[in-house]
Amino acid sequence: MPNNAITLELKSEIEDLLNSYVQCIDDDDLENWPNFFTDQCLYQIIPRENHEIGLPTAVMWCDSRGMLEDRITALRHANVYQVQWYRHIISNPVITTDDGETFHVQSNYAVFKTCNDGESTVYNVGRYVDEIVRDKGVLKFKKRSAIYDTHRITTLLVIPV
């Protein structure tokens, strides 16, 4: 009865992780963002059109903690883009597990983007498909896929979703 492993306490702990993750990005605390992942991890932002027909191309594909950190260093020091803020709205998650150790979690997200002109737009909408594990007592993403419906990215994508 592995799904019995999902107690209310665990559910709340997973929800905390999901909420803290988007708060970290929306608060521009991006140096902290890699800490949500295990050292061996995969983070990808992949268009739904590829995902659905089994094509692997993603716009961000980071398979190490180092690559996550490099994304933030590049964003702070190298990439050129206009000032912008994200605001994530996420749904309640659906959680399953086979072994009580790896939790498969899916939730919907919408990212609104606001730039200096003051207009807020629906920038990227999709779902997170996650594998969450306990790492030294703390829940972390072993794998996080942001599968986005808004397959036409406006201007550029620099901040992770």
Partner 1 sequence: MNAQEIINKIDVNGNHSPFATYLDEDVFKLEQENLYRGKVWSYIGLDVEVPQPGDYKTTFVGDTPIVLTRGEDGSLNAWVNRCAHKGAVICRERHGHSDDGAFTCVYHQWAYDAKGDLKGVPFRRGMKGQGGYAKDFDMKNHGLETLRVQTVAQMIFATFDPETPDLEEFLGEKMCENIRRIMHKPLKLIGHTRQFMKGNWKAYAENSRDSYHGALLHLFYPTFGIYRQGQISEGITDKVGCHNYFNVSAPPKEDLDYKDYADEANREMQGPHQLQDTRVLNFIPERDDNVALSIQSLFPSVVLQQIQNTLAARQVLPKSTNETELVWTFFGYEDDDAAMDEHRLRNINLVGPAGLISMEDGEAVELVQNGVHRDGELRSFIEMGGNDVEDYTSPMGMDENAVRGFWKGYRAVMARD
Distance of CA 132 to the CA centre of its chain: 12
Quick note: the x/- pattern for partner 1 over 85-124, rule CB under 8 A, is ----------------------------------------
Compute the distance between CA of residue 158 and CA of residue 151 in angstroms, rounded to an integer. Answer: 15
* CB-based burial label for 122 (10 Å; 0-12, 13-18, 19+): exposed
Please identify which residue in 32, 39, 55, 101 interacts with partner 1, judged by CB under 8 A.
55
Rg (CA), the chain: 16
Please identify which residue in 69, 85, 125, 142 interacts with partner 1, judged by CB under 8 A.
69
Does position 158 bind partner 1 by CB under 8 A? yes
Q: How many CB atoms lie within 10 A of CB 52?
A: 9
Please identify which residue in 14, 18, 24, 58 interacts with partner 1, judged by CB under 8 A.
58
Name the residue among 124, 127, 128 with its Cα closest to residue 151.
124
Q: Who contacts 92 (Cβ-Cβ below 8 Å, separation ≥6)?
A: 15, 107
Pick the piece of the chain touching partner 1 (CB under 8 A) from 21-29, 49-57, 126-134, 138-146. Answer: 49-57
Closer residue to partner 1 (CB): 82 or 96: 82
- In sequence order, what are the beta bridge partners of 151? none
Does position 137 bind partner 1 by CB under 8 A? no
Please identify which residue in 1, 8, 80, 83 interacts with partner 1, judged by CB under 8 A.
80
Please identify which residue in 66, 92, 94, 121 interacts with partner 1, judged by CB under 8 A.
66
The binding site for partner 1 (CB under 8 A) comprises 45, 47, 49-50, 55-67, 69-71, 73-74, 77-82, 151-158
